[in-house]
Amino acid sequence: MKVGVLFSSGKDSTYVIHLAKKLGHEISCLITMESKNNESYMFHTPNINLAELCAEAMEIPIIIEQTKGKKESELEDLKKVINNAKKKYEIEGIVTGALSSTYQGARIQNICNDLNLWCFNPLWQKNQIELLNELVDNKFKVMIVGVFAYPFDESWLGEIIDKETISKLKELQQKYKINPAGEGGETESLVIDSPLHKKRIKITKSTKTFENYAGVFNIEEAFLEPK
């Protein structure tokens, strides 16, 4: 089936490309929303401007649409860009990285129903520690680019998720009841390399902003380099 992937450049929306391809689906395009609202209910925002570079690294076409990120009205913007993708790339379905957010899942499903598109959520209700381990085992290089909750401090910004990181996240889950894969909005991520990438993302300039257990690893310059 020809599908479009709702894409943020983070781990979940990148990993579902891998899963959908394994099932034989054709990834016709990526669909990205650039929200002007950093507290959007629907969309990832840290370093979203790198989505186009990530798509280029994987050699997949991308459609990018901006939204003011106002609650509910941002859904009309999403519906519009999905419909554009349907017309341009003749997609038959939408793939999402939704893990457990019923708010996001239900609204995307409604949009797909309205547009007569299949909605596929391959990560739905997946154990979060299991997901992180799968990412590492499948050689996805995932960087933490945003933290938004206690007990995450500035040292987490720019951290690459590996087995040691997963062990630390598991401890935090047990002690503080956080979502280790950031499903509660605790963290945001960026995939800088994976088996999907024809070229890897090389970060050459970055800054960190952090205050009151909330911070972002701001990537100011990056380019693609051969693998």
DSSP-assigned letter for residue 184:
T
103-158 pLDDT, tens per residue? 788 999 999 999 999 999 999 999 999 999 999 999 999 999 999 999 999 999 99
Q: What is the per-residue pLDDT for 39?
A: 65
Instruction: Name 71's Cβ contacts closer than 8 Å, sequence gap at least 6.
Output: 41
Between 101 and 97, the more confident residue is: 97
Residues 166, 192, 90: CA angle, nearest 5 degrees: 110
Locate CATH 3.90.1490.10 in the chain.
Answer: 142-226
CATH 3.40.50.620 location in the chain = 2-120
Buried b (16+ CB within 10 A) or exposed e, 48-79: bebbebbbbbbebebbbbebebeeeebbebbb
pLDDT score, position 46: 83
Distances (CA, A) of 129 to 108, 125, 157, 171, 216: 25, 12, 19, 11, 23
Classify residue 157 as exposed, middle or buried by CB count within 10 Å of its CB (0-12, 13-18, 19+). Answer: buried
pLDDT of 167-183, one tens digit each?
A: 999 999 999 999 999 99
pLDDT at 93: 98
Is residue 70 pLDDT above 80, yes or no? Answer: no
| CATH code of the domain made up of 142-226 | 3.90.1490.10
Kindly report, residue by residue over 6-25, the tens digit of the pLDDT. 999 999 999 999 999 999 99
pTM: 0.95
The beta strand positions in the chain, using DSSP E, are: 2-6, 26-35, 62-67, 93-95, 118-120, 141-147, 187-193, 199-211, 214-226
- Residue labelled with tokens 């099932």: 23
CATH of segment(s) 2-120: 3.40.50.620
pLDDT in tens, 21-49: 999 999 999 999 998 877 665 676 789 99
Sign of CA dihedral 10, 11, 16, 17: positive
Q: Are 157 and 210 in contact (CB under 8 A)?
A: yes
pLDDT band at 69 (very low <50, low <70, confident <90, very high): low
Q: How far is CA 122 from CA 23, 36, 114, 129, 200, in A?
A: 10, 28, 21, 16, 25
Q: How confident is residue 96, by pLDDT bands cut at 50, 70 and 90?
A: very high
Q: What is the mean pLDDT of residues 54-83?
A: 90
Strand partners, 203: 222
